[in-house]
């Protein structure tokens, strides 16, 4: 049989698509979320990563300042009322400018500052909208007001499930549920590296 004929027959065979496995899905989630999973050469690890319940803790050292810069994060999948696709999402507690902040990353546009809201609820306790900043990529949200961060850390530390929702005039409603068991221990190294100001009041829900 000629080589050209073999090639023709091979081209007619249906391609085999490997079945998805949990391990593969987890790897794709990591690749999509980027930030925490791609090596950041501005940091080095002080010791191996740890877990606390649902949280992953990275014990990092800033190569410029030599200061500890730990981070704790949880990943999940989100839904949006404008698409049927299921996308990854991340919530991260980290240090920024020597103070703790909360950062949410989504794998689709969720809103912009002028026309969007952010709200969360922990377990069965009533939730509410809070002050948050939608960054220019429209996929990242930061809680950086000290009082709101203090309230968030207090709420999440005692919870097991975090429900967040963004609502936007152009991006629709995005919802994500995070398992947050073990949050108090996960936050400890972050708050040791960049503590909340002494007596920082937790801003009441609006």
pLDDT in tens, 92-136: 999 999 999 999 999 999 999 888 999 999 999 999 999 999 999
Q: Give the confidence band of 200 by pLDDT, cuts at 50, 70, 90.
A: low
| DSSP characters over the chain | --HHHHHHHHHHSPPP-PPP-HHHHHHHHHHHH-TTTS--TTEEEEEEEEEETTEEEEEEEETTT--B--EEEEEEEEEETTEEEEEEEEEEEEEETTEEEEEEEESS----GGGEEEEEEETTS--EE---EE-TTSSEEEE--HHHHHHHHHHHHT-SEEEEEEEETTTEEEEEEEE-TTHHHHHHHHHHHSPPPTTPPPPPP-
pLDDT of residue 114: 84
pLDDT, one tens digit per residue, over 132-142 is: 999 999 999 99
- Model pLDDT, residue 202: 63
Say which residue, 36 or 153, is predicted with more confidence: 153
Mean pLDDT of 20-49: 60
9 has a pLDDT exceeding 80: no
Look up tokens 């704790």; give the residue: 72
Over residues 44-87, the pLDDT tens digits come to 989 999 999 999 999 999 999 999 999 999 999 999 888 888 89
User: Which pLDDT value is given to residue 42?
Assistant: 86
Query: What integer is the mean pLDDT of 157-162?
Result: 96
Sorted by where each starts, the structural domains of the chain and their CATH numbers stand as: 22-193 (2.60.40.1880)
- pLDDT of residue 26 exceeding 50: no
pLDDT mean across residues, the chain: 84
CA dist 91 and 54 (Å) reads 11
């Amino acid at each position: 049989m000629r080589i050209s004929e073999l090639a023709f027959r091979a081209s007619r065979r249906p391609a085999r698509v490997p079945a998805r496995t949990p391990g593969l899905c987890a790897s794709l989630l990591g690749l999509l979320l980027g930030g925490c999973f791609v090596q950041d050469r501005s940091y080095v690890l002080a010791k191996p990563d740890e877990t606390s319940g649902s949280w992953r803790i990275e014990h990092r050292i800033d190569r410029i300042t030599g200061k500890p810069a730990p981070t704790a994060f949880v990943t999940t999948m989100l839904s949006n009322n404008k698409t049927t696709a299921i996308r990854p999402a991340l919530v991260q507690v980290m240090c920024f400018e020597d103070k703790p902040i909360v950062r949410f990353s989504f794998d689709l546009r969720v809103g912009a500052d002028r026309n969007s809201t952010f709200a969360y609820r922990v377990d069965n306790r009533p939730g509410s909208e809070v002050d948050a900043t939608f960054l220019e990529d429209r996929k990242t949200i930061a809680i950086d007001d000290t009082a709101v961060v203090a309230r968030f850390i207090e709420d999440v530390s005692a919870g097991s499930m975090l429900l967040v929702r963004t609502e936007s005039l152009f991006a629709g409603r995005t919802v994500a549920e995070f398992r947050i068991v073990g949050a108090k221990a996960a936050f400890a190294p972050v708050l040791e590296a960049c503590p909340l100001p002494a007596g920082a009041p937790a801003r009441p829900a609006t």
